[in-house]
Amino acid sequence: MSDYNFAYLDEQTKRMIRRAILKALAIPGYQVPFASREMPMPYGWGTGGVQVSAACLTPGDTLKVIDQGADDTTNAVSIRKFFEKTAQVATTEETARASLIQTRHRIPEEPLTEDQILVYQVPIPEPLRFLEPSEVETRKMHALEEYGLMHVKLYEDISQHGAIATAYAYPVKVEGRYVMDPSPIPKFDNPKLSMAAIQLFGAGREQRIYALPPYTRVVSLDFEDHPFEASKADHDCDLCGADDSYLDEVITDDAGGRMFVCSDTDYCRARRAAGHIGAQGAPYEEATA
């Protein structure tokens, strides 16, 4: 039993957030201001995503929380426990079984479906911020579709590194209109932004919500002579052998030993359960999952 209102926030606040979400879905990529609440966790720990999740959850939902693709990191565990306690919803680590997934910095490898919602935690929602500090000016630039500055950032990348070095939070254009920061997901995930599920983005400190409705056209910005590339480590997963998933590099000793493993832990687990074995992997046993 809990003395909290369902999913912690009071009903009026959830209604306010739902209105912002509906508006965000109606104008894909547009940053809708909302009255972000104090949450029982510090800014930067996913307060925006948590508020959006709280406004979307119903008692029948099954929740999955990931941080950098993993279900078992501190941030993911804390948020999952938070909703177990305040909403008593079922939780899962299996992507396919979840109806709502809150994520920090990744999109699951397994394609999402029309009956799922993906909620992103967003630190800085404004893609133009690093070059134009004035909020008044950036809003005007969005309103008037003045996005030349976004290419200045990519130009700087190429001039300094010989290629577009932006590897995460890679800017995209939504339905040919708004330029959007997809949150700090690796650019490997950018092509997945056009998907069947609803995607909601919550920035708690910055008090902004934005969204991508299902099947929205999302294009990564680039130059004609330097086209966008969804890059990843040139390697297969050492545990499950996958050659199509985003990899984390893990240092295994102080003698230069290292291995590459799927950043999406559920994807890796499922593959190993199905009998795939990577270069350094051991046969899968249920208990180790």
Partner 1 sequence: MTPLLQVHDLAKFYGPRRGCEGVSFDLWPGEVMGIVGESGSGKSTLLSCLAGHLPPDRGEVIFDTRGQGPRDTLTMSEPERRMLMRTDWAFVHQHARDGLRMGVSAGGNVGERLMAVGARHYGHIREQAIDWLGRVEIAADRVDDKPQAFSGGMQQRLQIARNLVTGPRLVFMDEPTGGLDVSVQARLLDLLRGLVREMGLSAIIVTHDLAVVRLLADRLMVMKDGRVVEDGLTDQVLDDPQHGYTQLLVSSVLQV
**Binding to partner 1 by residue 124, rule CB under 8 A?**
no
Number of residues located near partner 1, criterion CB under 8 A: 16
Between 128 and 212, CB nearer to partner 1: 128
Sheet containing 62-67: order of strands: 32-33, 208-212, 198-203, 117-121, 100-104, 62-67, 90-91
CB atoms within 10 A of CB 280: 13
DSSP label at residue 49: H
Active-site entry in 49, 69, 202, 262 = 262
- Applying CB under 8 A, among 3, 38, 115, 225 the residue interacting with partner 1 is 225
CB 107 within 8 A of CB 116: no
Residue type for position 4: Y
Contact letters (x/-) for partner 1, 156-175, by CB under 8 A?
x-xxx---------------
Pick from 37, 96, 98, 28: which is nearest to 63 by CA?
Answer: 98
Angstrom distance (rounded) from CA 270 to CA 246: 15
The window from 76-84, 150-158, 200-208, 270-278 that contacts partner 1 (CB under 8 A) reads 150-158
Is 148 an interacting residue with respect to partner 1 (CB under 8 A)? yes
Is residue 228 involved in binding partner 1 (CB under 8 A)? no
Binding site for partner 1 (CB under 8 A): 131, 144, 146, 148-149, 151-152, 155-156, 158-160, 223-226
Catalytically annotated residues: 29, 237, 240, 262, 268
